[in-house]
Chains A and B, each alone.
Chain A
Amino acid sequence: MLENRLDIRNYMKKLHKLANPGKFYRLSEKILPWSNLLAISLCALGLYLGLFIAPPDYQQGESVRIIYVHVPAATLASFVYAIMAVASAISFIWKNPLGNFIAKSAAPIGAVFTIIAIITGALWGKPTWGTWWIWDARLTSVLILFFLYLGYIAIWQVFEDQNKAAKAAAIIAIVGAINLPIIRFSVDWWNTLHQGASIIRLDGPSIHQDILIPLIFMWLGFLSYLISLLIIRIQSEITLQKIRAIQILISEQK
C-alpha cells in the first residue's frame, strides 16, 4: 500500500515535470517533424484513395467524397473542444499555466475545423438534401460550437489582466463542454435531417470498407495535422509568455 502511494507520487512528479512549459517545449520539438510527416503522407494517401480509388455511393453518387473532409473536420471540431475543456479544467484546478496555453492555442484550430465542417456539410447538403442549411438539432448544435469557440477567443482579448482572462476563458470552455454530448447524441435524441452515426455504432460501421478505409486515413491525417498545429501554436504561446516576463523584468529594473 505504502509502495503504491510512493509510485503514484513519483508518477505525479513526472506528470508535473511534463506540465512544465520548458519541458513541454523540448519534448514537442521532437514530435513535430514526425507529426508533420504523418500529416502530409496520410492526407495525401487518404485523398488519393478517396478521390480516385474509392467507389461512389449507391445513392449520393460522387458527392459522397465530401465526407473525406467533412467527417474528419467535424469529429475533430468536437475533439479539439474536449481538449480545450480538459486543459482548461486542469489549469483552473491546479493553477498550471500549460493547460491555459494548450486551450488558448487550440481554440482557433477548433474554430476553423468547425467552419470547414459547416461549409463542406452545406456543399453536401445542397445536392443530397436539397438545402444548404436547415435548423435541425445537429446543425444548430454545431453552429453553437462555432460561437463557443468565437466567444472563447474573444474573452482573451477582452481582459487586460491575463490571469483574469485565463480564469474567465477556462470557465467558458468548461461550461461549453456540455454542448459536446448534445452534438454527439442530437441525431438520436431528436429527429433531424442529418443522418445518424455511421462509424461508431453498436452493430459496427454502416459504411462499406472501400469508403471507410480512405476515411480512416484522412482522419488520422487530420489528427496528425492537428498535433502539428497545436505544437507550433503552444510553442509560440510559451515564447510569447517568456517575452512578456522579460519585458516586465526590464521595466522593473529601469
Chain B
Amino acid sequence: MKKMLKNLKPKRRRLLFLLSGLFILGISLGLALLALNEQVDLFLTPTSLSEKEIETNKRFKLGGLVQKNSIKKLKDGVTTLFIITDNNMSIDAQFKGVLPNLFREGQGVVAEGKLNSKKIFIANKIFAKHDENYLPPEIADAIKKEGQWKGN
C-alpha cells in the first residue's frame, strides 16, 4: 500500500489525498447531522409531538398550519385561540400579543411556547411561515375563484 502510494505521481497523490479526505469528512459530517437530526429541526409538528413525551412547562417550538376556521379572539382583545395542524394531528394553541401580518388560516406558522396541564400550547412567540409560491394578488384571486387553488 505504502509502496503503491509512493509510486503515484505527486499530482495523483494530491488528488487522492483531497478526494479521500473529502469522502471521510463528508461521511462523518453526514452521520453527525443524521444523529443531530431532531436538534437541527426548527420545530416539532403535532404528529412528532404526539410520538414523544414532553413535560409541561418545557419550552419548544411547534410548527404546522393554522387550521381553517379555528382562529378565535378572546374578549380581552389581545388573546388569540387557534389550532395548529399538520393535516394528521392537531393541537390547540393560545397566544397573547400582536400577530405577524402573515398569520392567517391555512398558512404555515411556527409558535414558541410550552404545553400547559390541559395540553394546550401556550405560545409567547409566533412566526408566520411563508410558502414558496409568489403570485400577483389578482392572479391568486382568479385561481381561488376557479377553485384550482392547490395550496392551503
* Chain A residues near B131 (CB-CB < 8 A): 195-196
A193 and B127 within 8 A (CB):
yes
Q: Is the CB of A58 within 8 A of B135?
A: yes
Bin the interface of chain A by size. Answer: 35 or more
Among B15, B22, B125, B135, which residue has its beta carbon within 8 angstroms of that of A57? B135
Interface residue? B147 (CB, 8 A): no
A210 to chain B, nearest CB (A): 6
> Total contacts A to B, CB within 8 angstroms?
114
Residues on B with C-beta less than 8 A from A192 are: 42
CB-based contact B128/A174 at 8 Å: no
Interface, chain B (partner A; CB < 8 A): 11, 14-15, 18, 21-22, 25-26, 29, 33, 37, 40-43, 45, 63, 99-103, 107, 110, 125-141
B134 to A211, Cβ gap below 8 A? yes
Whether A206 touches B134, Cβ cut-off 8 Å, given contacts A94-B11, A190-B37, is yes
What's the Cα separation between A137 and B40 when bound, in Å? Answer: 6
Q: Which residues of B contact A222 (CB under 8 A)?
A: none
Could you tell me if A129 and B130 are in contact, using CB atoms closer than 8 angstroms? yes
Specify the chain A residue showing the minimal Cβ separation from B63: A191
Cβ-defined contact, B15 with A93, below 8 A = yes
CB distance from A233 to the nearest CB of B (A): 25
> Could you tell me the distance between the alpha carbons of A207 and B134 in the complex, rounded to whole angstroms?
5
Tell me which residues across on chain B come within 8 A of A4, comparing CB atoms: none
Decide if B136 touches A190 in the complex (CB within 8 Å). no
A59 to B128, CA, bound (A): 11
- Alpha-carbon gap, A197 to B37, bound state (A): 20
With both beta carbons as reference points, the residue of chain A lying nearest to B38 in the complex is identified as A190
Which of B26, B63, B100, B139 is within 8 Å of A130, CB to CB?
B100
Query: Nearest chain A CB to B65's CB is how many angstroms away?
Result: 13
Q: Which residues of A are interface residues toward B (Cβ below 8 A)?
A: 55-61, 64, 67, 89, 92-94, 127-131, 134-137, 174-175, 178, 182, 189-193, 195-198, 201, 206-208, 210-212
Q: List 12 A-B contacts (CB under 8 A).
A: A55-B136, A57-B135, A58-B139, A59-B140, A92-B14, A127-B101, A129-B129, A129-B130, A137-B41, A189-B40, A193-B127, A197-B132
Contacts of A134 in B (CB 8 A): 42, 127
Q: A60-B130, A190-B40 are in contact. List 6 more A-B contacts (CB 8 A).
A: A58-B137, A94-B11, A128-B130, A135-B42, A195-B132, A206-B133
Cβ–Cβ < 8 Å partners of A92 in chain B:
14, 18
Contacts A92-B18, A130-B128; A57 near B42 (Cβ below 8 A): no
